[in-house]
Chains A and B, each alone.
Chain A
Amino acid sequence: MTRRWLPYPILSALLLLIWLLLNQSIAPGTILLGALLGVALAKVFGLLRPPKARVRNYPLLGLLFVRVVVDIVRSNIAVARIILRRDSRMQSGFVAIPLTLTDHYGLAVLACIITSTPGTIWVSYDSSANILLIHVLDLVDEASWIDSIKQRYERPLLEIFQ
């Protein structure tokens, strides 16, 4: 019964939360409409037949979030410095990273992390060889980039999603 009406409880709850935030009210009518929207839209989402997502480790997800926020702030400063200094010796280039992560949601989160962090951009992902190609603005040492992406982001994502 619950599975039928509430196939994606977290998604429904998030949609309700967004609805309440947008309306800036917790009146019963708003909650009712938000809950209806949450349930209905989650059912529509189910029609897309999305692959099943399982978050195994919520505390680690929080830890990863904090780490990403710190990294975003640090690389904002680093990239701003590069732009303002006009350093012409700066080398940028592509880095190919062999991944172990194969979960779709994990990869999607990794894409958001890498692209949101200034200085690195997700270029392409080869799903058969499981190799990720990224572009790095200030590329000093290729191996250290591969290592840091794998250690800082891929490892926690593996534990969370896979």
Chain B
Amino acid sequence: MSHLDALPPWAAILVAVLVLLGALLAFVGSLGLLRLKNFYKRVHAPTLGTTLGTFFMLAASITCFSVLHDRPIFYEILIGVFLTLTTPITLMLLVRAALYRDREEGSADVPQAPPHE
């Protein structure tokens, strides 16, 4: 990690704070997976990591490499864009699968399917 020595202290501190914030949010999201009681509650937790958590990580990366290379580097934004576009698909698939299963089992905790389906 020798080239990171070239990072001036102010940038190093900023990057460290951003990385820690991002990691903290990802951690809280994972903690939510553990603590929340049912499937539908649990799917909410990881979105912390995919939104603000990712934002802080990307901001850290952009700051770090822009300072190191002395020019703006911001292609990390693309990671954010693709993540925002693709997470809903995964989450919706998971939730719909769970809902389908619960409806088939006749669970009283989920709203029933509309009659025509």
**Which residues of chain A have a CB within 8 Å of any CB of chain B?**
18, 21-22, 24, 72-73, 76, 79-80, 82-84, 86, 92, 94, 96, 111-112, 115-124, 126, 128-129, 131, 133, 135, 137
State how many angstroms separate the Cβ of B14 from the closest Cβ of chain A: 19
Q: Could you list 27 A-B pairs, sorted by A, with CB under 8 Å?
A: A21-B74, A21-B75, A72-B52, A76-B25, A79-B45, A79-B48, A80-B25, A83-B28, A83-B29, A83-B35, A83-B36, A84-B28, A84-B31, A86-B35, A112-B85, A112-B88, A115-B87, A115-B92, A118-B47, A119-B44, A119-B47, A120-B44, A122-B88, A122-B92, A122-B95, A135-B43, A137-B44
**Total count of chain B residues near the partner, CB < 8 A:** 36
CB-based contact B111/A73 at 8 Å: no
Of chain A, the residue at the smallest CB distance from B71 is A24
**Which residues of chain B have a CB within 8 Å of any CB of chain A?**
25, 28-29, 31-32, 35-36, 40-41, 43-45, 47-48, 50-52, 73-75, 77-78, 84-85, 87-88, 91-92, 95-96, 99, 110-111, 114, 116-117
Chain B residues with Cβ below 8 Å from A135 are 40, 43-44, 95
